């Protein structure tokens, strides 16, 4: 067929081990069929040139922040798996090292902000926060820049990766902008310090409505508000009130309330009784990690941050693991499952299901597993096993 | 939540004789607690975190029905207590499990220096539970409170 090619970008990158990678992106117009398309020629580590072609209307661009330590290699694994799944995603890599803006204020690099504002959806690897670097944590900076108000962590037991708890299937939704982490502290007198827990109607209403909306969109049966309103009558009381008001608007979702300490007690005895949990910042910080522990830890737990204006950043929440960085030993599962969460958020349920199934089947099979999962395979081998499964599915 | 770590000029040398490292709860306590609680020993913490963690840890060993508790006050005051509820639905029916209150009383004996008696009662209690012959309903059996109590008393008579 007769086509016209337009070169739209050449993207030169160096990966974490210094190898050069060059992408050529074209859009083409087919005179015969009248359709537009997108072609990417890649020169990755090997010499082969790969051709990826999609109808232009389907492709969505996502900002990719590989991060530090094992970040780049697990990001590469995810990109490889997405390609094998033929997911219509174009990655736009950006770095988020903090820089000083005008007026001396710390900010993320303008090109990273621009990319996120344009694409709205991001996938992020682990970021290191150097102690005494003088700037706030990068995660905090991202949260403030994009008003990431909801942290969502689905915790589902993984077959093949045994923990003392089975059949866990719950979601923690944490208010991420205020509460006990408002950062307002002061010294009353020497030896007496006060810390302000800030709870606002606006933030509580926003997170409560998001939780119910999430439950409805993901076919979850109930939402439980986690609180200590018996002790913190005004702050948690306000939060609880907003949850109750939101429940009125979502009668199709069951609403319950439970004290935080009771939730923790019950969680370690029988986590299967829980579904969606919504709570203020500190409680969410605690419970989300607790629940991650139930299913195997931060190395296998996905996470998503929902912001204002349609922005959403999905991320792995484990550390940068500098001791194994660059050695092809990392486990990309957490970042991959976060990317699957991202696909669902974007409505790409078919691709999400395919990748998730391939990942879970590989782990269940227990033949090719990274060291932390109990095996002795490399990151690349684990990635390849998942890609192969998807090829076999087709 | 801040990360507190006592920094010393030489990383391998403790800053003082009792190297105190206050751990960031977020990253190092809760997740490992459900994965491997055996790595922990004594944990000290402020009020809210204690409210949460004490219940979480009670859950790990079986719940508030088997967990002892003590409250230490100024001027030598100490009150030991069971931290479960009043269970009005089974009150007066000889169905309750006295283990939590009993273990709190054992804690009390130790606090008072009566270690011999504490050991005797605790051993009798644990042996009865381990034996699994006479257990209250919440522990998986179908014995009465009085029967469970009698079994513990009998064990102590046998010890003498």
Report yes or no: A258 at the B interface, CB cutoff 8 Å.
no
Residue A163 in contact with partner chain B when CB distance is under 8 A: yes
Question: Residue ranges per domain, chain B?
Answer: 1-61, 63-159
The CATH number of A60-390, from 3.40.718.10, 3.40.50.300, 1.10.10.410, 3.30.560.10, is 3.40.718.10
Lowest mean pLDDT among A106-115, A289-298, B8-17, B33-42: B8-17
C-alpha B146/C-alpha B150 separation (Å) is 6
Crossing angle for the helix pair A235-249 and A201-217, to the nearest 10 degrees: 40
Under 8 Å CB-to-CB from A310, ≥6 apart: which residues?
A120
Helical (H) or strand (E) element with A315: strand A312-315
Compare CB distances from B55 to A264, A282, A293 and report the shortest one's residue. Answer: A264
What is chain A's pLDDT, residue by residue, as a tens digit (394 residues)? Answer: 455 666 655 655 544 444 555 556 566 666 555 555 555 555 544 444 445 555 656 899 999 999 999 999 999 999 999 999 999 999 999 998 888 888 888 888 999 999 999 999 999 999 987 666 676 778 888 999 999 999 999 999 999 999 999 999 999 999 999 999 988 999 999 999 999 999 999 999 999 999 999 999 999 999 999 999 999 999 999 999 999 999 999 999 999 999 999 999 999 999 999 999 999 999 999 999 999 999 999 999 999 999 999 999 999 999 999 999 999 999 999 999 999 999 999 999 999 999 999 999 999 999 999 999 999 999 999 999 999 999 998 8
Q: Is B56 in contact with A264 (Cβ distance < 8 A)?
A: yes
pTM for this structure?
A: 0.83
Contacts of residue A220, Cβ cutoff 8 Å, sequence gap at least 6:
A171, A214, A253, A275, A276
User: Where exactly are the structural domains of chain A?
Assistant: 1-54, 60-390
For the record, the structure tokens of A163 come out as: 């923990």
Closest approach of chain A CAs to the CA of B99, in angstroms?
18
CB pair distance less than 8 Å for A290 and B56: yes
Contact B34 A290 (CB under 8 A): yes
Task: For chain B, say whether A232 makes contact (Cβ under 8 Å).
Answer: no
Q: Tell whether A52 lies on the interface with B, counting CB pairs under 8 A.
A: no
Tally C-beta pairs within 8 A across A and B: 64
């Amino acid at each position: 067929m007769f086509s016209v090619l337009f070169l739209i970008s050449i993207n030169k990158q160096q990966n974490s081990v210094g190898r050069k990678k060059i992408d050529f992106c074209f859009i083409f117009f087919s005179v015969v069929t009248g359709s537009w398309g997108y072609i990417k020629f890649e020169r990755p580590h090997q010499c082969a040139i790969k051709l990826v072609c999609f109808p232009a209307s389907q492709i969505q661009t996502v900002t990719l922040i590989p991060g530090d330590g094992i970040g780049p290699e697990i990001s590469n694994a995810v990109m490889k798996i997405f390609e094998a799944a033929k997911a219509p995603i174009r990655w736009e890599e950006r770095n988020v090292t903090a820089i000083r803006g005008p007026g001396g204020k710390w900010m993320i690099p303008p090109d990273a902000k621009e990319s996120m504002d344009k694409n709205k959806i991001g996938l992020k690897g682990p970021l290191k926060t150097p102690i005494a670097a003088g700037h706030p944590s990068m995660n905090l900076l991202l949260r403030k820049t994009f008003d990431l108000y909801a942290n969502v962590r689905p915790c589902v037991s993984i077959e093949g990766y045994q923990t003392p708890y089975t059949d866990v299937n719950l979601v923690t939704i944490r208010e991420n902008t205020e509460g006990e982490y408002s950062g307002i502290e002061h010294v009353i007198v020497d030896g007496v310090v006060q810390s302000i827990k800030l709870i606002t109607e606006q933030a509580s209403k926003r997170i409560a409505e998001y939780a119910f909306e999430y439950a409805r969109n993901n076919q979850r049966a109930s939402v439980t508000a986690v609180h200590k309103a018996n002790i913190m009558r005004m702050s948690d009381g306000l939060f609880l009130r907003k949850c109750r008001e939101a429940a009125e608007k979502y009668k199709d979702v069951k609403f319950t309330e439970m004290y935080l300490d009771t939730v923790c007690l019950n969680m370690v005895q029988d986590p299967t009784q829980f579904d969606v949990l919504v709570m203020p910042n500190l409680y969410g910080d605690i419970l989300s990690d607790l629940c991650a522990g139930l299913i195997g830890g931060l190395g296998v737990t996905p996470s998503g941050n929902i912001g204002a204006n349609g922005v959403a950043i999905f991320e792995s929440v484990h550390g940068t693991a500098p001791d194994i960085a660059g050695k092809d030993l990392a486990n990309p599962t957490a970042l991959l499952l976060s990317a699957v969460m991202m696909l669902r958020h974007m409505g790409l349920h078919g691709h999400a299901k395919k990748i998730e199934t391939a990942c879970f089947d590989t782990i269940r099979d227990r033949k090719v597993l990274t060291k932390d999962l109990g095996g002795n395979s490399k990151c690349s081998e684990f990635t390849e096993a998942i890609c192969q499964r998807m090829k076999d599915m087709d | 939540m801040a990360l507190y770590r006592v920094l010393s000029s030489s990383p391998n040398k403790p800053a003082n004789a009792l190297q105190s490292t206050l751990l960031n709860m977020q990253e190092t306590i809760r997740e490992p607690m459900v994965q491997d609680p055996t790595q922990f020993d004594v944990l000290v913490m402020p009020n809210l975190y204690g409210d949460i963690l004490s219940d979480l840890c009670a859950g790990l060993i079986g719940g508030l029905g088997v967990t002892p508790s003590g409250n230490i006050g100024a001027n030598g005051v100490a009150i030991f207590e069971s931290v479960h509820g009043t269970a009005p639905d089974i009150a007066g029916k000889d169905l309750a499990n006295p283990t939590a209150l009993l273990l709190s009383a054992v804690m009390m004996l130790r606090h008072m220096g009566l270690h011999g008696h504490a050991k005797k009662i605790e051993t009798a209690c644990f042996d009865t539970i381990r034996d699994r012959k006479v257990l209250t309903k919440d522990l998986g059996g179908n014995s009465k409170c009085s029967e469970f109590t009698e079994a513990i008393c009998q064990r102590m008579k046998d010890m003498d």
